[in-house]
Every structure is written in structure tokens, then in C-alpha cells.
Amino acid sequence: MPTAPIDFNALIDGAHISGRLYRDPAIFERELNAIWYKVWVYLGHASELPNAGDFVRRQIGRQPVLMVRDDDGRINVFFNRCRHRGNLVCRREQGQVDAITCPYHGWTYARSGELIEPTFEEGYAADMRREDFGLTRVPRVAEYRGLVFASVSPDGIALDEHLGPVKEFIDLFMDLSPTGEIDLGAGTQKLRYKGNWKMLPENSLEGDYHGPFIHRIAFELHAKATGLSMSSLYQNEVPDVIRYLPGGHMVEDYRGASMAPAQGEPSAGRAAYVAAMERAYGKDKARQLTTTIAPLVYVFPNLLYIMTHIRRVQPVSVDETYVYYQPMLLKGVPPEINSGRLRFHEFGFGPAGFISPDDIEIMERNQIGIQASGNDRSFIGRGLHRDRISGDGGASGFTMDECHLRGMWQHYRALMQAPADLSP
């Protein structure tokens, strides 16, 4: 059925954002083709597949894909679909395999995707070539510091260009490890909410504005336990905390915000960690990395780094989203540093945490609120009069400003306006 063209200039008008963008199933369908099947989508990290034969299932939009490490150590990304009759070739979420066998008729593929055996092969014509029936590769796959991205579109900009200036901020959280390596092998907390996927990045990167309202009790408990007051972040607004980076990416950069130092002598593990960081990066950079909160990062469209973890966003429908929280452990550090990271993660995040559940509940109510059509515009205008625009198309603002949200929506609008291939 032909649909009326959608005027995205009217729906995204500077700081005014139409509620239709969160509730219209036709817009969600267009997002699949114009965003999810077009741009680089984050799938997972190399540390989730340490050995040959390790695999994890993931999704790009609605399409099931499979990441497998082969015997040469390469990470392959295949569509999770048997070449025979289209069955889901791998059902398990993760694990290790010698070969990938479709449960339906037994077609078996190597870890590197080649068809090893179409079963009862004598029934196929002699000129059927096995090499024409390997698992189909997702057209483009690339890594940055172990983060694996893929694109269903054979054409498009290189990953390096897509990431651009956000690489500097990815480096900052990776460099919390003295070897510069992270480990996402600690498992995944999985959550679902009844709201649009775009609310998650919007909410995740503006915590200083909503923090005093919905996270007050978590901040109080944290302050009582650690002596660190998170309220300083919003009580003294400073410039250049909020950043928009070209490519749809957003950052909350706390390097300029001072945190009260921890009281008392550091533990032996903490002291060993700081010493390892100084050896790795020199005193100045090590001090910055170990005494400030690493910037919070959103890589368009579905990767977030938030304090303790990597967060992945999975759209399900216009009003349902899955969220995956994977604690980020550090390689080359004393065990107590990582167990401390796990325990702090559980304090804040996942279905039973003390911070993110309040966000999830609010997003579900947000989804209800935007059903109301009177004045059908959200307003993201905080700081509009004082944005600092940078030469590369980025912008920065004060702690609670919304320039990064405006930037993300501009990027979204450009993608959605582009003449997309709407064939399924």
C-alpha cells in the first residue's frame, strides 16, 4: 500500500520534535530501511568470542545475524539463515561450535561459513557447487578497538568515517584498562520496555537534567556510602560537558567537572591499579583517567557506554525496545577492581538496579504522554542561545543543555529524508 510522503522538516523543526516520531508504525518501518539496514550498527565486542568456534547471536533491525570466530581468529558476521530453506541456522544465544549444523535438514557449515555438507548429497545435481551455498555474509563488517560493527548495506561510508571524532571518546573508556583492553564476557542483563527506541539514547545522555528528579534517592544512597556527591554535577553547571559530534553521536564529558577525591588510603588493589595506569599512560593522563568519570558516550544508533557498562539498544516495534547491559571489565587490573565494577554496576543498572529502572519507568510513561496530539511537540531547547558550534559540525553546551539531542535529531532527519531503498 503506498504511503503518503512524510515531511521530516515539519516533524523535526530545530528544538521542536513531533510525537509522531515515537508512535507512528510507518516511521518505524522507514527507520528499518533508512537507518538500521543502512548505517553501521554495533553488534558486540571481540572479547565475547575469545576462542575459535565461539559464537553469539545478534540482530540488526529485525534480521537475525550470527558472529562466529573462525580457526584463523577472524570474526565473521553471517545472516543467521540456512541457505537451504531459510531456517534459523543457529538457535542458541551463544556458545561454541565445531561446525554450524542446521537442525532442520542437517546442512552443515564451517565456522568460516563454507558449506561442508548438504545432506543426502547424491540427490543434488552433479553441477551444484557447494561454494555457492555458504552462509551469507553481512555485506560490511569492521572493528574499532574490538567493537564489532556491521552494515546490511553494501555501500556507505567506512566505519572510520562514521565514528570520526567519537573515537577519541571510545578511547577514553577503553583506556580505563592499563592494557587498553576491555572484557565484555561477564554476562548480560536484559530488559524490555514499552517505549520507542530513540527514548533510550535521549534519556541515557541527559542524566544531569533528570537526575535530581528521578534519581535523587540513588544519588543519596551513593553519597552516604562513598562520600561522593553526584549533586555537584547539576548544582554547578559548567560548559562543554554536553557534546554533539557529527555522525549522530553524543557525549557527556565530565573531564572538566571536579569530583571530591575518595577519602582515606586506597586499598592495595586500587593502589596497584593506579600504579599500572601510571606506567601505561604517564602520570598526567593516568590521573585524569583514575580521578574523573570517563565521558558517557552514545554511538549512533545503538551503542552506549555508561559508567560501568556497554549498553546496546534493540528496537522491536515502534513502542517496544530491548536493552542489553553488559558490564565492562578491564584487562590487566587486580581482581578487586573488576569485582568492584560488577558490584557498582548492579547498584545502578539492570532490572533490579537503583538508577536505570527509574529511567525505564519514565520512558514507558513518556510513550503514553506522546499519544496526546495537542501541541504535538517535545521541546529540546535548553541552551539553544548559548551553544558553542565547532568547525566540524559538532556543538557543545553546559551540563544540562540539550544541544546534543538537537544534533542527534538533525542527523536522524538527514538519514530519514534521504531517498532510501524501501524494498524489504
Partner 1 sequence: MADPQIERFLYREALLMDEHRFDEWLALWAEGGSYWVPCNADDIDPTRQVSIIYDDYARLRQRIDRLKSGSVQALDPLPRMRRLISNIETDASAADEVTVGSNFILCIARGVDQQLWSGRSIHRLRHSGEGLKITHKKVLLINNDQEMPLLQFLI
Provide the binding-site residues for partner 1, judged by CB under 8 A.
93, 186-193, 214, 216-218, 221, 225, 322, 325-327, 335, 338-339, 342-343, 345-347, 350-352, 354, 357-358, 360-362
Closer CB to partner 1, 126 or 225, in the complex: 225
Q: What one-character-per-residue DSSP string does 368-405 give? A: HHTT--TT-EEE--TTGGGPEEPTTS-EEE-TT--HHH
Instruction: Locate the DSSP E strands across 80-122.
Output: 94-96, 100-101, 108-109, 115-117
Instruction: Kindly state the smallest distance separating residue 55's Cβ from partner 1, in Å.
Output: 16
Q: What one-character-per-residue DSSP string does 321-336 give? A: EEEEEEE-EETTS-HH
Closer CB to partner 1, 23 or 215, in the complex: 215
* Spatial strand order in the sheet of 377-379: 12-13, 16-18, 377-379
Contact in structure between 167 and 184 (CB atoms under 8 Å): no
Name the residue among 318, 302, 300 with its Cα closest to residue 410.
Answer: 300
Instruction: Kindly state the smallest distance separating residue 326's Cβ from partner 1, in Å.
Output: 8
Instruction: Kindly state the smallest distance separating residue 234's Cβ from partner 1, in Å.
Output: 16
Instruction: Kindly state the smallest distance separating residue 355's Cβ from partner 1, in Å.
Output: 10
Closer CB to partner 1, 210 or 255, in the complex: 210
Instruction: Kindly state the smallest distance separating residue 309's Cβ from partner 1, in Å.
Output: 8
Categorise residue 265: left if φ over 0, alpha if ψ from -120 to 50, beta otherwise: beta
| C-alpha of 202 from chain center | 12
Closer CB to partner 1, 281 or 354, in the complex: 354
Closer CB to partner 1, 240 or 336, in the complex: 336
Instruction: Kindly state the smallest distance separating residue 362's Cβ from partner 1, in Å.
Output: 6
Instruction: Kindly state the smallest distance separating residue 335's Cβ from partner 1, in Å.
Output: 7
Contact in structure between 317 and 331 (CB atoms under 8 Å): no
Contact in structure between 241 and 259 (CB atoms under 8 Å): no
Closer CB to partner 1, 93 or 171, in the complex: 93
Closer CB to partner 1, 29 or 346, in the complex: 346
Q: How far is Cα 421 from Cα 424, in angstroms, rounded to an integer?
A: 8
Contact in structure between 353 and 325 (CB atoms under 8 Å): no
Centre a 10 Å sphere on the Cβ of residue 307 and count the other Cβ atoms it contains.
17
Instruction: Kindly state the smallest distance separating residue 233's Cβ from partner 1, in Å.
Output: 18
Closer CB to partner 1, 171 or 220, in the complex: 220
